[in-house]
Amino acid sequence: MAAPGLNSLGKLDSANLNGGQKLAVKYFTVAVVLFGAQILFGLLAGIQYLKPDFLFGILDFSVNRMVHINALVVWLLFGFIGSVYWMLEDESGIPVVGLGLGNLIFWIFTLAVAAVVVVYLLVQVGPGEHSTIWLINEGREYIEAPRWADIGIVVCVLTFFYNVAATFAKGRYTGVGGVLVLDLIALFGLYLAGMFYTPNVSVDQYWWWWVIHLWVEATWEVLVGCLMAYGLMLTLGVRRKIVETWLYIEVALMFGSGILGLGHHYFWIGTPEYWFTIGGFFSALEPVPLVAMVVHSVFDAGAHKMKNTNHPALAWIIAHAFGNFFGAGVWGFMHTLPQINLYTHGTQWSASHGHLAFFGAYATLVIAFLYIALQKWRGNVWMSGGLAGAWKWKWAMILLNLGMVGMVMAMLISGYEQSQIERAIEGSGWMGYFTAQAHPWFVQGMWWRQIFGWMFAAGFVLLAWDLLTIGGKEKRLALQHAEPAAA
Ligand code: HEM
Ligand code: HEM
Ligand SMILES: [Fe+2]
């Protein structure tokens, strides 16, 4: 890596980046903005749990919730696409093929997302007609975007996929590159399962879960496995042979358990009974690869005595390994057996798991890549021990993680109360629902969720400030590894 002129060290300068990386920082920028929007709408939805009148008729709960979770999915996708473009030239050894097209698609994608959100906000209620699916909202949780945008998304991701596959094909295919390309086929292919319309809700849910579950518990996991492999080579100088061997093992375990683990969403939607056994068994195995990922990153960090070139990035990679294990593995396992899920299904217990899993497994890793990007953008600046202004990234990390854990515990308490009162005692009836919602334990849990939500939001503000300034006061060049990453 050529050292930049020392006088530009610490300054944001796109001349430090290759073509793929210049495009990546655009994706990263939009990702951070959408992350902020996600938090804002989450806070509004949370207030409405406590004061149901709040903004009623102006910005309804249904809309806030929808924007909250759609922004989540989209910012993570932008973060992933950015991360892949970030590593593409390093991994393949050649400039990105079709970069001009990639840039054009970035703008189309971003404008489409903006248009969809504006329509969500402007048309909050109305008749559900066929045109609604095309123009306003498809009504499928997490991926509510109307069909015109669906088609646009498919075109955008096809272009992205072409750029990635063609670049690896023309350059060199590493193990990471090979796994990544195969995984992207599955990841984007599955999106199609959430696009067609059927009036039967059971059938609709059956296919919709192919997108949601097989994304977060299979194809996204493999994608972040590839990103983590690259991140560990870069920040710790771990040898390629080691990370790729782990990657193959993790991928095999993840697909082995995650694909049929899909059955844990087929317990109560009108699908045949054999799903109890299949879903219960395979989803119970899903934590196994997540343990492997923790062992992997802790082992690598230990073997390198934590000598790393980018402290914030490695800290977030470790947070990812643990967050993935606890949020997806432990919190998922808690309610994945049908005997338990009978009581917990659709309570705040699910929301508790959803928050910890999405944050722990995915938000953390995208944040790690933001720090990897900023280091190079500022001329490969020092980001190890004694970094000037390091308190900001550390406090952002503490507030975000504590805020998240606090919210998750609060929701878990509310969820326990719902399972006990609404389900076990009142037998899932209409009255049981309201009795549970009015119970002080439930209400207090929702208050604590909100309080910790503010802490999380404060962490985000600090994170954004840190991202704008980190390394700006450093005049040292990044720590170099004694051994080359690619052995
Ligand atoms: C990073 C990976 C994961 C993410 C992001 C994630 C996220 C979510 C989300 C958001 C929901 C709520 C869906 C809804 O709106 O109805 C959910 C439901 C569920 N998840 Fe996960 N999950 C992950 C991994 C896992 C794992 C590994 C397991 C099992 C070991 C698991 C078990 C479940 C179960 C059983 C439900 C259904 C809850 C209910 O019946 O209400 N999840 N997950
Ligand atoms: C300021 C912080 C946040 C607050 C106050 C908040 C609040 C909320 C609220 C009120 C809901 C609706 C729950 C319901 O329908 O019962 C929700 C859903 C959700 N939020 Fe958040 N949220 C915050 C941050 C986050 C973050 C950082 C993530 C992930 C990285 C996230 C992921 C989700 C998911 C996946 C759901 C759907 C859960 C389900 O259906 O089970 N939220 N959030
Ligand atoms: Fe699942």
Kindly state if the Cβ of 164 falls inside 6 Å of ligand 2. Answer: no
Kindly state if the Cβ of 72 falls inside 6 Å of ligand 2. Answer: yes
Write out pLDDT tens, residues 194-251: 988 888 999 999 999 999 999 999 999 999 999 999 999 999 888 899 899 999 999 9
Residues 6+ apart with CB under 8 A from 350: 335, 344, 415
Q: Closest Cα to residue 340, out of 408, 285, 276, 291?
A: 276
Residue to mutate (ligand 1; options 75, 267, 334, 336; most atoms within 8 A of CB): 336
pLDDT level of residue 28 (50, 70, 90 thresholds): very high
Name the residue at shortest CA distance from atom 26 of ligand 2: 355
Q: What's the confidence (pLDDT) of residue 116?
A: 97
**Contact call for residues 228 and 365 (beta carbons, < 8 A):** yes
Ligand 3 center to 139 CA (angstroms): 19
Alpha helices in 175-307, H assignment, sequence order:
175-191, 201-214, 220-236, 240-261, 274-285, 287-303
Alpha helices in 51-146, H assignment, sequence order:
61-92, 99-122, 130-135
Rounded-to-integer distance, Cα 93 and Cα 20, Å = 12
Residue to mutate (ligand 2; options 69, 344, 365; most atoms within 8 A of CB): 69
Q: What's the confidence (pLDDT) of residue 2?
A: 44
Ligand lying nearest the CA atom of residue 282: 1
Both tokens assigned to 147: 């069909």
What is the overall mean pLDDT for the chain? 94
Q: What's the confidence (pLDDT) of residue 5?
A: 52
Name the residue at shortest CA distance from atom 32 of ligand 2: 355
Better-scored residue on pLDDT, 239 or 400: 400
Q: DSSP secondary-structure letter at 50?
A: H
CA atoms within 13 A on the CB side of 15: 9
Q: What angle do CA 19, 22, 27 make, to 5 degrees?
A: 125
Name the residue at shortest CA distance from atom 38 of ligand 2: 351
Q: What's the confidence (pLDDT) of residue 483?
A: 54
Ligand 2 center to 39 CA (angstroms): 8
Ligand 2 center to 130 CA (angstroms): 29
Ligand 2 center to 256 CA (angstroms): 29
Determine the atom of ligand 1 nearest the C-alpha atom of 358: 5
Write out pLDDT tens, residues 356-366: 999 999 999 99
Ligand 2 center to 23 CA (angstroms): 29
Ligand 1 center to 264 CA (angstroms): 9
Q: What's the confidence (pLDDT) of residue 485?
A: 47
Q: What's the confidence (pLDDT) of residue 302?
A: 78
Average pLDDT over residues 462-467: 98
Q: Which three-class secondary structure state does DSSP give residue 310?
A: strand
pLDDT level of residue 6 (50, 70, 90 thresholds): low
Average pLDDT over residues 411-433: 97
Rounded-to-integer distance, Cα 462 and Cα 388, Å = 16
pLDDT level of residue 486 (50, 70, 90 thresholds): very low
pLDDT of 320 strictly over 70: yes
**Contact call for residues 456 and 401 (beta carbons, < 8 A):** no
Ligand lying nearest the CA atom of residue 221: 1
Write out pLDDT tens, residues 348-399: 999 999 999 999 999 999 999 999 999 999 999 999 988 999 999 999 999 9
Q: Where is average pLDDT lowest: 295-304, 331-340, 472-481?
A: 295-304
Q: Closest Cα to residue 457, out of 64, 51, 42?
A: 42
**Contact call for residues 300 and 341 (beta carbons, < 8 A):** no
Q: What's the confidence (pLDDT) of residue 357?
A: 98
Ligand 2 center to 332 CA (angstroms): 16
Write out pLDDT tens, residues 257-266: 999 999 999 9
**Contact call for residues 148 and 135 (beta carbons, < 8 A):** yes
Q: What's the confidence (pLDDT) of residue 303?
A: 75
- Which of 182-196, 287-301, 332-346 is the most confident on average? 332-346
Ligand 1 center to 41 CA (angstroms): 21
Average pLDDT over residues 473-482: 85
Q: What's the confidence (pLDDT) of residue 482?
A: 62
Q: What's the confidence (pLDDT) of residue 487?
A: 37
Kindly state if the Cβ of 355 falls inside 6 Å of ligand 2. Answer: yes
Q: What's the confidence (pLDDT) of residue 1?
A: 43
**Contact call for residues 399 and 337 (beta carbons, < 8 A):** no
Rounded-to-integer distance, Cα 284 and Cα 356, Å = 18
Both tokens assigned to 274: 């054999």
CB atoms within 10 A of CB 203: 14
Rounded-to-integer distance, Cα 413 and Cα 408, Å = 9
Ligand lying nearest the CA atom of residue 408: 2
